[in-house]
Amino acid sequence: MRILLTSFTTFGDHQVNPSRLVVEALDGRHADVITAVLPVEYSGAEARIRALIAQHEPDAILMLGLAARRGAINLERFALNIDDAPLPDNAGVTAAGRPIVADGPPAYTSTLPLPSLLDALQAKGIPAVISNHAGTYVCNHVFYVARHLIEQTRRQIPCGFVHVPQIASEDDQPGLPLAALIEAVECCLDTLRSQK
């Protein structure tokens, strides 16, 4: 089994992107996991995820991103066919209500085993919830593009997005320790392996 595990660089006011730290910590740890860090750019991230899927033909795709105001692991249920965010991407592009794929469906459902992932995370005492969608910024863009590609190729593989909170600090902001974020993603990988 080959699992593609992706994360993002820093963006906006965020000096650290914990999704990147998690992926870097797991890089080379598992022979069946291919890791990549995507740019926080609509077009750049799309080109990169397309190239990674074409090159590696993974058996599962687990994409990670930062949701700084959330305090738990968020398992995203839907990818929406829209880019719409006031924050420019790292290339300076601001998207306002534009479709990702002009003739694509309004949304794609995650094909990750969300209930199993949730149960496994909660069994380890890791705060986790199922969230309805991945927003309308670059995270959602990559999620939608990946699912659209999978649908076009008619491959039935697990593919979805997980938002992680920021790393816990002492300023009363929501978050989890980096070790817990790494454990959470390891748990998701183990669950994906067990489904095959």
Tokens, residue 72: 């738990």
Question: Which of these, 10, 30, 32, 33, lies nearest to 20 by C-alpha position?
Answer: 10
Half-sphere exposure of 124 (CA within 13 A, CB side): 21
Q: Is 151 noted as a catalytic residue in this protein?
A: no
Q: Is 41 noted as a catalytic residue in this protein?
A: no
Rounded distance, CA 15 to CA 149, Å? 31
Question: Which of these, 123, 149, 189, lies nearest to 52 by C-alpha position?
Answer: 149
Rounded distance, CA 156 to CA 86, Å? 34
Q: Which of 76, 141, 148, 159 is catalytic?
A: 76
Q: Which of 41, 46, 139, 148 is catalytic?
A: 139
Q: Which of 41, 148, 159, 163 is catalytic?
A: 163
DSSP code for 172: S
Q: Is 141 noted as a catalytic residue in this protein?
A: no
Residues carrying an active site annotation: 76, 139, 163
